[in-house]
Amino acid sequence: MLACGERKAQAQTSVPTTQTNEQGCTRQRSIGPQDPFQNPPPLKQACVGPYLLEMPQHLFYSQMGTEFDGRFALVLQYPGLQPFAPGERMNLKLDVSMRTVRFAYDYIDRIELRQAMRNAYTPLDFEVDNPSESLAGRIVGEPVYGLLPYYADLPRIREYHASRGTRASAPVMEADWHQDWFITRDAAGEVDRLIRCTSREVGGTGVVFRDGLMYRHMQEPYSECTHQFMLPEHSTLVRITYVRLGLKDWQQIEDKARALFFDHLVSPHQ
């Protein structure tokens, strides 16, 4: 028993307390049992490429810091965009999951950042004729919330798949399989923001409000958006997911994404 205890102690002390990524950012790791309910929450570190961030652990998706390999996402709750209480996301309930705004930060260094952005709305060679995979195959609408919409052309999409032998009852023929795209362009005409939301043909919001909190409306289909933009000076692509109802607040949500990054930025690797 004594020998077993000694080996266990040696194993615990041999666990490295730091982790360094490919870009040279070194973060302090969380060793041993974690308490997501701890209040005030302790500070935890994370790396985005060479950039070190430090923030309270309840802002992390797991509310305990990064995953073992350093990956992480941050969360706030819609519509107030305030943090979840420490431990509130444990045993994740449907309503809590549905009101989650999730922020992910991807450092891009293997290709040019703008090319990574282009890849999000450019079809692969074998999908070039698929109207759901490109801007050109969509219905351009009038600006909404300061965004230019490219709506899914569902009749054209169904015709495309039917011509390839897809049965009429296949999921890809349903509206909830497809997304409407909303973009902005920079001064050079390049897409610098892309928000993809469940098709407008899917009715209802999928949510209901009670006492200022948002809950899942079980009699309506759930719709959501994936919002992508760049932090050019930090070669970082930001991806945010939230309920489709939040599209009208996209600017506020994006501002929060920037604040979560810059307000907790400790330093780049030197």
DSSP assignment string, 226-249? EEEEEEGGGTEEEEEEEEGGGGGG
Among 184, 187, 205, 207, smallest CA distance to 195 is for: 184
Question: Is residue 58 a contact partner of residue 203, using CB atoms and an 8 Å limit?
Answer: no
Mean pLDDT of the chain: 92
Q: Provide Rg for the chain, Cα atoms.
A: 22
Which pair of structure tokens corresponds to residue 70? 């350093």
6-10, 127-131, 218-222, 241-245: range with lowest mean pLDDT? 6-10
CB burial of residue 218 (10 Å; 0-12, 13-18, 19+):
exposed
* In the predicted structure, residue 267 carries a pLDDT above the cut 90: no
- For residue range 37-90, list pLDDT tens digits in order: 999 999 999 999 999 999 999 999 999 999 989 999 999 999 999 999 999 999
Which pair of structure tokens corresponds to residue 187? 């001064």
User: What single letter denotes the amino acid at residue 184?
Assistant: T
Three-state secondary structure call for residue 210: strand
Pairing of strands 148-151, 224-231: unpaired
Chain-centroid distance, C-alpha 266: 22
Q: Which pLDDT value is given to residue 202? A: 94
Three-state secondary structure call for residue 62: coil
Three-state secondary structure call for residue 167: coil
Pairing of strands 100-107, 265-268: unpaired
Rounded alpha-carbon distances, angstroms, from residue 58 to 21, 66, 79, 232, 258: 23, 11, 18, 27, 18
Query: Please, what's the b/e burial string for 107-135 (b: 16 or more CB within 10 A of its CB; e: otherwise)?
Result: bbeeeebbebbeeebebeeeeeebbbbbe
> Strand ranges (DSSP E) for 124-223?
139-140, 148-151, 179-185, 191-198, 207-210, 213-216
Q: How far apart, in whole angstroms, are the C-alpha atoms of residue 144 and residue 147? A: 5
CB atoms within 10 A of CB 138: 21
Provide the percentage of residues in the chain whose pLDDT is more than 90. 87
- For residue range 134-162, list pLDDT tens digits in order: 999 999 999 999 999 999 999 999 999 99
* In the predicted structure, residue 9 carries a pLDDT above the cut 50: no
User: What single letter denotes the amino acid at residue 191?
Assistant: V
Question: Is residue 48 a contact partner of residue 107, using CB atoms and an 8 Å limit?
Answer: yes
The single-letter DSSP state of residue 144 is B
